[in-house]
Structure 1
Amino acid sequence: MVQRATGLFFLIAGLCFFGTMHSHAADCGKNRNTVLSNQMLTRAIPFLKVKKTDSALVYLDKAVNADPCNISALWETGWAYYQAEKWQKVCELWGRVKELQPSTPGLSINLKMAQDRAAVQMYLDTVTLSNDVHIDTVADISQTISVTAVGDIQLGRAWPEESAALPDGGPEALLDQVIPYLKDDITFGNLETVLSNTGGTMKGLRGKQGIFVFRVPVSYASGLKNAGFTVLGTANNHANDFKTEGMYATMNALDSAKILHSGKTGVVASWNVKGVRVCMVAYSNQESAYTVQDSLNVWKRIRSLDQNHDIVIVSFHAGAEGRQANRIKDTVEYYYGENRGNAFKFARWAVDAGADLVLGHGPHVLRGMENYRGRLIAYSLGNFSSYKSFVTDGILSYSVILKVSLAKNGVCKQASVIPLVFNADGKPGIDNDKNAISILNTLSTEDLKSTAIVFDSSGNVDFTK
């Protein structure tokens, strides 16, 4: 099952919804200065386009105050507060739009997203902080759960049509050389594409560097299921490539294929494996997901999940990208000016709050792994697949399939890596030269010192010895 919310969550969501329903229609005939409102809106738009939210809101708030029934001002101000993650304010503004012009394109689905986000935040505000977190470091051998994990799954692109590139035979053909290694109790990956048959994008193309918006057919969900994936993270910088509609289309496609998932705020995968209660929650730096930068809510969300599950798996999409982004440091990372979070601090926060397995991705290159408090942290699993989209040469041509054996109480017992190499099209295959093992060991020992995980020449490590 996918745990979307608790009963309290639904109660709070209802309060948020009804909070948008009070009438503003009577205000429209009084004290309206539409000319001033539009002037303020015009001044705000350039700031909105470059996500200078605080500067935009200086003018947008004035636009709404000048004319509380200016639908364009209400709509754009709602988006500014959306960027600022002020969800109750978004609900208020877009609730007014719904009352005045319910047919506004995109209103219904985006208002639903804002209401869900407001409900999540209101729920987290009820969670009490506690530093009294007991973390077992001795394995409970009564049951063992085997997890297979991979990094960024990119499957080609169906849009724009003039430069579309999709693999013949779909995901199963693209992954045919590695599928035999994916079957497990739990098989995880980061789905870095939208699953949708329709839709355009608000994102621009980045100069001559290629197309950085990804959408593949809905049918690819069943291909991923057949390949062996049981749970996917959808919290990443491409989850919203095709707007909110694309995000919901992806969730619906995964639900139909019976693949568990977490990505959108409020959606946590929760299920039983061999009698063990397991959950997976995904984080990124994007406003549609639980965010890696929000340390207080990171702690609260993971802590609350740990109290109701035996094993908590945390997925996170963070850090800079590319061949120069393979080192892990205790610092905030930026990519094209965007705050991508402090991956090192986030991962350890997660374990301190109760996470049992922390799986990183996003840099598109391998980073080190460590055993921190008996829990395995993989700071970046690199790419897993990329059909004619990502650069896959040099150090970017190597990756791994990670296999982890977890005790019932989350302690890591054994781990192994299967080295991968990509061909020119981004198709993964087994690397018989095992380059990734030496790459990982070097990165881990240099960056993580005493907690570094060092694999033997076959790619194995045993923590029980």
Structure 2
Amino acid sequence: MKKLLSIAFLTGLAAYTLMSCQNKTQAEVKQVKTDTPKVKLLKDTLSITAVGDMMLGSAFPSKLNLPPDDAVNSFAAVDTFLKGDIVFGNLEGCFLNSGNSNKCKGINPNNCYAFRMPDRYASIYKKAGFNVLSIANNHVGDFDAKGRKNTARLLDSLQIHYAGQLNKPFDLFEIDSIKYAFCAFAPNENTVSIKNIDSAKALVAELKKQADIVIVSFHGGGEGARFEHVTRKTEVFFKENRGNVYAFAHAVIDAGADVVLGHGPHVTRAVEVYRNKFIAYSLGNFCTYGMFSLKGPNGFAPLLQLKINRKGDFLYADVVSVKQDKVNRLTLDENHTAFDKMKTLTDIDFAGHNLIFENNQIRLKN
């Protein structure tokens, strides 16, 4: 795995460096030809909107698992909030129009958690405003290489940035003259491992040399109401090592990460500001149709509107609480359940923290 990661990283980094050099040369030529070159002012405040798990409906094992509106209204209740320089979420499944899943061999497909969204659903994410997606999780590979390759092809065609598979460990891109790096980790096959913290630190450190802002995503921790807390230990779920998300998050920030966005437990977890950098330990089930459990805390999630400065330091975050059920699907939660849960868990898991939770906003104490 280390060898594959190293090859993928060096190949990707070399390609990006070459592209950067070409762009720089072109820019220098243009500047020579221009008598009065324009200087573009950089933003003082950057906006990152982040949500958790998303899977809009699976055509496997049958089209009965697709929503009645064919997913076109999936984000209708929240579309005014999905704005920012970065709009991020976890893509919990692949895009693929047909095929069976090897993980369902020998069992009833109706009891198998394998997700493939129709190709046409990819444009729904783009239209909603998502421009960065994690593909490091346990469902992007449900339909093996075919599903992964098709997903990458569609995201490339829509110019949505993504990362997390061994052949795509990171992405480097520029928005409004700010250079961003994005990388994603998980404990699953073909993903960049959350369990190899030293390798994660090395990758982040290299990316920080290339980018102004490094955003790290992870899919880790146990699942469900029993796993709401950040234990600071390795978490095991169904005999699978799901990583030590606390150690991982702190390590990548030490290596240069500016924002860490977690998902995987399907419930809201605490947040933390460590060395002036923001960590969300789990953003829950944001928009998930079909076989996902939405009982209890699984049915509530935050939509995080994070503000950082040009150095990547945390300024404040607005939290829009949402809820899901099988009938109404994704709607706003007027009771602000996710925000209240985030506050409660942060008070418990990070007692003595330097954060104020008030009026659906998180900010630092003076």
For the pair 1:174 / 2:74, whether they are aligned, the reply is yes
Counterpart of 1:334 (choices 214, 221, 236) is: 236
Partner of 2:55: 154
Larger helix share, 1 or 2: 1
Report the Cα distance in structure 1 between the residues aligned to 2:250 and 2:74, rounded to whole angstroms.
34
Report the Cα distance in structure 1 between the residues aligned to 2:60 and 2:219, rounded to whole angstroms.
23
Identity over aligned pairs, percent: 33
Partner of 1:306: 208
Partner of 1:119: 7
Does the C-alpha gap of structure 1 residues 189 and 406 become closer, same or farther in structure 2, counting only changes over 3 Å? same
Counterpart of 1:212 (choices 99, 113, 119) is: 113
SS in 1 for 2:113: coil
How many angstroms does 1:463 deviate by?
3.2
Q: Is the 8 A contact 1:261 1:269 kept in 2?
A: yes
How many angstroms does 1:144 deviate by?
1.4
Report the Cα distance in structure 2 between the residues aligned to 1:374 and 1:393, rounded to whole angstroms.
35
For the pair 1:380 / 2:271, whether they are aligned, the reply is no
How many angstroms does 1:401 deviate by?
0.1
Where do residues 369-448 of structure 1 align in structure 2 (5 Å cutoff)?
369-425=271-327, 427-448=329-350
Report the Cα distance in structure 1 between the residues aligned to 2:205 and 2:195, rounded to whole angstroms.
16
Where do residues 214-229 of structure 1 align in structure 2 (5 Å cutoff)?
214-229=115-130
Q: Is the 8 A contact 2:268 2:283 kept in 1?
A: yes
Report the Cα distance in structure 2 between the residues aligned to 1:272 and 1:154, rounded to whole angstroms.
27
Higher relative contact order (Cα pairs below 8 Å, separated by 6+ residues): 2
Partner of 1:294: 196
Report the Cα distance in structure 1 between the residues aligned to 2:139 and 2:171, rounded to whole angstroms.
20
Report the Cα distance in structure 2 between the residues aligned to 1:444 and 1:329, rounded to whole angstroms.
12
For the pair 1:357 / 2:259, whether they are aligned, the reply is yes
**2:72 aligned partner, one-letter code:** E
How many angstroms does 1:240 deviate by?
0.8
**1:275 aligned partner, one-letter code:** S
Pairwise CA RMSD: 2.2
For residues 334-373 of structure 1, the C-alpha deviation after alignment (integer angstroms, 9 at most, x for no partner) is: 1111111111111111111111000000000001001111
**1:169 aligned partner, one-letter code:** D
Partner of 1:259: 160
Does the C-alpha gap of structure 1 residues 344 and 207 become closer, same or farther in structure 2, counting only changes over 3 Å? farther
Report the Cα distance in structure 2 between the residues aligned to 1:152 and 1:455, rounded to whole angstroms.
24
Unaligned runs of 5+ in 1: 1-84, 88-115, 125-140
For residues 199-235 of structure 1, the C-alpha deviation after alignment (integer angstroms, 9 at most, x for no partner) is: 2211138789943110011111111100110110000
Partner of 2:84: 184
**1:191 aligned partner, one-letter code:** L
Report the Cα distance in structure 2 between the residues aligned to 1:295 and 1:86, rounded to whole angstroms.
12
Q: Is the 8 A contact 2:184 2:192 kept in 1?
A: yes
Q: Is the 8 A contact 1:445 1:454 kept in 2?
A: no
Report the Cα distance in structure 1 between the residues aligned to 2:9 and 2:159, rounded to whole angstroms.
28
Counterpart of 1:319 (choices 186, 207, 221) is: 221
Where do residues 441-456 of structure 1 align in structure 2 (5 Å cutoff)?
441-451=343-353, 453-456=355-358
Report the Cα distance in structure 1 between the residues aligned to 2:217 and 2:184, rounded to whole angstroms.
4
For the pair 1:271 / 2:173, whether they are aligned, the reply is yes
Does the C-alpha gap of structure 1 residues 434 and 121 become closer, same or farther in structure 2, counting only changes over 3 Å? closer
Where do residues 27-176 of structure 1 align in structure 2 (5 Å cutoff)?
85=1, 117=5, 119-120=7-8, 143-161=44-62, 164-176=64-76
How many angstroms does 1:155 deviate by?
1.2
Report the Cα distance in structure 2 between the residues aligned to 1:159 and 1:313, rounded to whole angstroms.
32
**2:160 aligned partner, one-letter code:** I
Larger radius of gyration: 1
Does the C-alpha gap of structure 1 residues 354 and 118 become closer, same or farther in structure 2, counting only changes over 3 Å? closer
SS in 1 for 2:323: strand
How many angstroms does 1:425 deviate by?
4.4
Larger strand share, 1 or 2: 2
For residues 306-350 of structure 1, the C-alpha deviation after alignment (integer angstroms, 9 at most, x for no partner) is: 111110000000011111111111111111111111111111111
Aligned residues: 335
Q: Is the 8 A contact 1:187 1:231 kept in 2?
A: yes
SS in 2 for 1:265: coil
SS in 2 for 1:416: strand
Report the Cα distance in structure 2 between the residues aligned to 1:464 and 1:439, rounded to whole angstroms.
20
SS in 2 for 1:255: helix
Question: Which is worse superposed, 144-153 or 268-277?
Answer: 268-277
Q: Is the 8 A contact 1:366 1:399 kept in 2?
A: yes
Report the Cα distance in structure 1 between the residues aligned to 2:192 and 2:287, rounded to whole angstroms.
25
For the pair 1:194 / 2:94, whether they are aligned, the reply is yes
For the pair 1:461 / 2:362, whether they are aligned, the reply is yes
Given the two structures, how large is their TM-score scaled by the length of structure 2? 0.86
